[in-house]
Structure 1
Amino acid sequence: MKGEKTLGALVRLIRQLAVLRRYRARREVADPLAVRVPWWRDRLRKRAHREWPGGYVLQTDGLYFYVPERLDLMGAYKLLKPFKTEPCIRRFCRPGDTVVDVGANIGEWTLQMADAVGPGGRVIAIEPIPHLAAALQKSTWANNLRQVSIAAVALSESEGQGEFSVERANTGGSRLGRYCAEACDTITVRVETLDGLIARSKIGRVDFIKVDVEGFELEVLRGARATLARHRPPMYLEVGAEDLAKRARLAALLRDELDYRMLGIVLPGGICEATWDDYLGERAPFEAGGIRNVLLVPPPRESVAT
């Protein structure tokens, strides 16, 4: 543990964090518009940032989730907020499926995907930041999730090496390229295409893909053309960080070339219907500057006449 703290102190910290998560979960059910936490929340948050040594959080779904010592916004969220399931995972990740998590971070989606596809399925998790990939690996070991493979690479439309900017306060905002020099650490990472990764892994099917790469979604999907054309997986895609010109190129690839339909924006309580034209025109619900998660599906197979 950090400093001279004892095991007993760590036990108390973990217990108090669990109490806070349970309290918040109950408050959200009772009154989701006015979640109140006791005065000790901020004190406990500061203590977690000061003393958290790296370790496992037991989620309400029964899985152990490793939160690294280097506590940023993503890690603090796991310690302080109640566990929430992502409904899209249960709808699109079925037992035996092969699914891909691009931008896995410490595994919020990866672990739920692995639980959904089961031992007979497969999860390919893509995370180029070394300490996050290592944390995710620990979570898979602690839960005996042998169906998870972790690729510590970045994805783009070509292969090689590249600079990757790691945001210190929020690793979820990290991205390929050199950005925010004062608030970021720059590392060199291996860059691959999803098509190349799938081919080298000898994967025979891809049933679902989630992509969250902070504005580099177009480059990732250009490097996944063959995979998308062959397997036609539904996709959960973060959009909104790109400019209008990049939006047009993304729509040209997914809508015009690959015939993906946009169902809408995924929200905590449902899906807000939206179209490609809304996205291209930055019309509501795609207001300028807003980050959105959209659900994209290929057209249904034509019914076979009998």
Structure 2
Amino acid sequence: MFKYLKESFARKKARRVTAKYPYEVNSFQLAKEGTVEFANWKNPLIPPKTITQAEINFFRRFATPGSFSIDVGANIGDTTVPMAIAVGKEGLTLGFEPNPMTYEILEANAGLNKGTAHIVPLRYAITEEEGEFFYSSSEASFGNGGVSASASEADTHGKFKLPEKVKGINLSKYLHENYKDYLPKLSLIKVDVEGHDKDVLRSISALIDQYKPTIIAECFSEATLDERFELYQIVADHDYTLYYFGDFDENTEIIQLSPHDMNRWKNFNFYAIPNTKK
């Protein structure tokens, strides 16, 4: 009972009081990769991450060894790390995360597993127009959140705001300026940005058309019916087929999506494959 009360108090405090939390490096023994390390954030609101072979195998369906993958909205690296291991040390994975609280843990994770992964952490939000943006969260410890162009719009992500703005960049422009040689190897783009997935995908439309990467994105719980249909159409218009999946696991349930399925679940992830690769 005492342990439960202590943990409950810690969670309530994390929701109301801004504080920095350390991380702890945990090791996982996998059948194929051997030892994999992950820096788990000690924020009481964030359950510890376990790296599994089944998750890495899931990403290997799309992110082939030696290829280029991108995680937009990387948070602490909970999907960035298995994506990067799937790509391997000969490939490259970029993790974009504007939130300084979670970026610090992402950066720690990028420094691990040097023999099996190559991660470059980047403290930017991905936006259609470059500039500086408000970052807000429903939690004082900033375990999640989103960017907004105005202070009033920022309230939609929660009442807690970072004291300093975060930088937003256009992904296509940034990649052509800094990673042009890697673009022909682009295999996977994962997007999870608190309801702005369609905006990010729209901003990289030319990139999708040219390189045809697999896309993984989230349909946000607060998205309206029109926004859900729009998200579907933005991806499908590139001649892609969309699939619901239950979890990042090689044995997960997979369902091919139609536009009307976008309101079937409140919050869910999907992946999309170009029809030329089916």
- Fold match by TM threshold 0.5: yes
The alignment partner of 1:248 has SS state of helix
Instruction: Tell me: CA distance 1:72–1:179, structure 2 relative to 1, closer, same or farther (3 Å).
Output: farther
Task: Count matched residues.
Answer: 252
Paired residue for 1:232, among 203, 208, 212? 212
| Alpha-carbon shift at residue 227 of structure 1 (Å) | 1.2
The alignment partner of 2:246 has SS state of strand
Paired residue for 2:45, among 73, 82, 86? 73
The alignment partner of 2:198 has SS state of helix
1:158 counterpart = 2:129: yes
1:131 counterpart = 2:114: no
Instruction: Tell me: CA distance 1:181–1:112, structure 2 relative to 1, closer, same or farther (3 Å).
Output: closer
Q: Is contact 2:139–2:158 with CA below 8 Å preserved after alignment? A: no
The alignment partner of 1:204 has SS state of helix
Structure 2 CA distance, aligned partners of 1:53 and 1:156?
29
Structure 2 CA distance, aligned partners of 1:197 and 1:88?
28
Residue matched to 1:199: 176
Paired residue for 1:296, among 256, 272, 276? 272
Paired residue for 1:270, among 252, 260, 269? 252
| Alpha-carbon shift at residue 40 of structure 1 (Å) | 8.4
The alignment partner of 2:253 has SS state of strand
1:117 counterpart = 2:78: no
Q: Is contact 2:101–2:143 with CA below 8 Å preserved after alignment? A: no
The alignment partner of 2:101 has SS state of helix
1:112-169 per-residue CA deviation (whole Å, 9 max, x = no partner) reads 1121111110001111111321211112223326721111011122211111113426
| Alpha-carbon shift at residue 272 of structure 1 (Å) | 3.5
Structure 1 CA distance, aligned partners of 2:80 and 2:268?
20
Structure 2 CA distance, aligned partners of 1:90 and 1:149?
19
Structure 2 CA distance, aligned partners of 1:212 and 1:72?
22
The alignment partner of 1:261 has SS state of strand
Q: Is contact 1:262–1:275 with CA below 8 Å preserved after alignment? A: yes
Identity %: 24
Instruction: Tell me: CA distance 1:116–1:176, structure 2 relative to 1, closer, same or farther (3 Å).
Output: same
Alignment RMSD, CA only? 2.9
1:261 counterpart = 2:241: yes
1:180-217 per-residue CA deviation (whole Å, 9 max, x = no partner) reads 58652234111112211211222323101111111000
Residue matched to 1:219: 199
Q: TM-score, normalised by structure 2?
A: 0.78
Partner amino acid for 1:194? Answer: L
The alignment partner of 2:82 has SS state of helix
Q: TM-score, normalised by structure 1?
A: 0.72
Paired residue for 1:56, among 10, 19, 25? 25
The alignment partner of 1:300 has SS state of helix
Instruction: Tell me: CA distance 1:259–1:83, structure 2 relative to 1, closer, same or farther (3 Å).
Output: same
The alignment partner of 2:183 has SS state of coil
The alignment partner of 1:214 has SS state of coil
Structure 1 CA distance, aligned partners of 2:199 and 2:189?
15
Paired residue for 1:190, among 132, 156, 167? 167
Structure 1 CA distance, aligned partners of 2:244 and 2:41?
34
Q: Is contact 2:70–2:190 with CA below 8 Å preserved after alignment? A: yes
Structure 2 CA distance, aligned partners of 1:210 and 1:250?
14
| Alpha-carbon shift at residue 225 of structure 1 (Å) | 0.9
The alignment partner of 2:233 has SS state of helix
Please list every run of 5 or more consecutive structure 1 residues that lacks an aligned counterpart in the other structure. Answer: 1-38
Please list every run of 5 or more consecutive structure 2 residues that lacks an aligned counterpart in the other structure. Answer: 14-20, 149-153
Query: Higher relative contact order at CA 8 Å, sep ≥6: structure 1 or structure 2?
Result: 2
